[in-house]
Amino acid sequence: MLGLRMAAEEDAEIAHEVLRTIRQIVRKISEHSKSLYREVGLTVPQLMCLKAIGELDEGHDEVTVVMVAKRLQLSAATVSRIIDRLTRAQLVVRERRSQDRRKVCLSLTPAGLERFQTLPVPLQELFVRRLSALPRKQRANLLDSLRRIAELMEAVEMDAAPILTPEVDVKGSGRS
């Protein structure tokens, strides 16, 4: 009987440690997002869109909302709303400049270019670099464990972009 109680206590402790670790991750994402906003005045999705436009502009004649959406793995509608905010902040310009007048191209304003050149490294880029440095087997084990946690939390069916942000729902109608 004593052995069963000790096993149950150990199981509970492991569960609490898993939950504590998840909470630490969530808090770090939130803290980093708030810090970025204070530092550069942009939300994480806005920063990622500005960064994508700047990087795509270096290798393409034209940059479109669809190109940015594909790069960030977000819907074009979500990116369009984020671009609206960047346009109001005078960091991005929308213009028709190709043969196809239906196509709207994006470019950085001088202020947007200056901001792009001094953007801090987003938390997710630091994470990807560090994760990539781990052995392949360890990365696969981490992914398997996280997928299992998502299953246990009934979160597998949730659509989520690979952007670390506390915003309610980057894919849908949340703050961006």
Q: Under DSSP, is residue 32 helix (H, G, I), strand (E, B) or coil?
A: helix
Whether residue 163 lies inside any domain: the answer is: no
Whether residue 109 lies inside any domain: the answer is: yes
- Cβ atoms < 10 Å from Cβ of 45: 25
Q: Under DSSP, is residue 106 helix (H, G, I), strand (E, B) or coil?
A: strand
Output the domain CATH number for residue 8. Answer: 1.10.10.10
For residue 22, the number of C-alpha atoms closer than 13 Å in the C-beta half-sphere is 12
Whether residue 78 lies inside any domain: the answer is: yes
- Cβ atoms < 10 Å from Cβ of 11: 10
Whether residue 76 lies inside any domain: the answer is: yes
Best CA proximity match to 162, nearest among 127, 137, 133: 127
Instruction: Tell me the pLDDT band of 77, cut-offs 50, 70 and 90.
Output: very high
Q: What is the pTM of this model?
A: 0.79
> What pLDDT was estimated at residue 144?
96
Whether residue 18 lies inside any domain: the answer is: yes
143 has a pLDDT exceeding 60: yes
Whether residue 139 lies inside any domain: the answer is: yes
* Average pLDDT rounded to a whole number, residues 153-173: 72
- Of the candidate ranges 55-59, 64-68, 84-88, 147-151, the one whose mean pLDDT is the lowest: 55-59
Whether residue 161 lies inside any domain: the answer is: no
Count of structural domains, the chain: 1
Burial 127-142 (b: 16+ CB within 10 A, else e): eeeeeeeeeeeeeeee
3-state percent breakdown (helix, strand, coil) of the chain, nearest 5: 65, 5, 30
Whether residue 159 lies inside any domain: the answer is: no
Percent of the chain with pLDDT over 70: 90
Domain that holds residue 19: 2-152
